């Protein structure tokens, strides 16, 4: 098992009529997502949920870590939401972002 420490597990998923590769989040990254969810729920900003989606995708989508908010804003909201839910489900947070907050 020790030889697998740090191994990155990925899969390809559909996004905007194409495919992107997502990484399965590590325990440390899941804890970070839970903290992001908690902060988002406390935030009074109207766009905090969109910020949460962007942060999750930056963590988990291969080659998305350097994307700006304006880059993400060019995609349909439904596609981004579905992709973030796929990331959370793939990482063991079965109920999507609701489960991340528990």
Each domain of the chain, given as residue ranges in start order, spans 21-100
CA dihedral 81, 77, 40, 59 (to 10 degrees): 60
From CA 96, how far away is CA 74, in angstroms rounded?
23
Give the model confidence (pLDDT) of 18-76 as tens digits.
Answer: 999 999 999 999 999 888 888 887 877 767 788 889 999 999 999 999 999 999 999 99
Model confidence band, residue 98 (pLDDT cutoffs 50, 70, 90): very low
pLDDT bin (cut points 50, 70, 90) of residue 97 is very low
Whole-number pLDDT of residue 94: 64
Ramachandran class of 56: left when φ > 0, alpha when ψ lies in -120 to 50, beta otherwise = alpha
Mean pLDDT, residues 72-86: 95
Task: DSSP letter for 61, please.
Answer: B
Q: Could you give the angle at the alpha carbon of 96 between the alpha carbons of 20 and 9, nearest 5°?
A: 45
User: What pLDDT does residue 100 have?
Assistant: 42
Task: Write down the pTM of the prediction.
Answer: 0.81
Q: Is 87 exposed, middle or buried (0-12, 13-18, 19+ CB in 10 A)?
A: buried
Quote the pLDDT of residue 46: 67
Q: How far apart are CA 69 and CA 38, in angstroms?
A: 20
């Amino acid at each position: 098992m020790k030889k697998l420490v740090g191994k990155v597990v990925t899969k390809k998923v559909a996004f905007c009529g194409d495919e992107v590769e997502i990484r399965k989040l590590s325990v440390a990254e899941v804890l970070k997502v839970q903290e992001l969810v908690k902060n988002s729920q406390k935030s009074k900003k109207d766009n905090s949920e969109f910020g949460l989606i962007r942060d999750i995708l930056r963590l988990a989508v291969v080659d998305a870590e350097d994307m700006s908010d304006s880059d993400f804003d060019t995609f349909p909201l439904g596609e981004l939401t579905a992709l973030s839910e796929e990331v959370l489900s793939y990482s063991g947070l079965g109920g999507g972002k609701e489960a991340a907050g528990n």
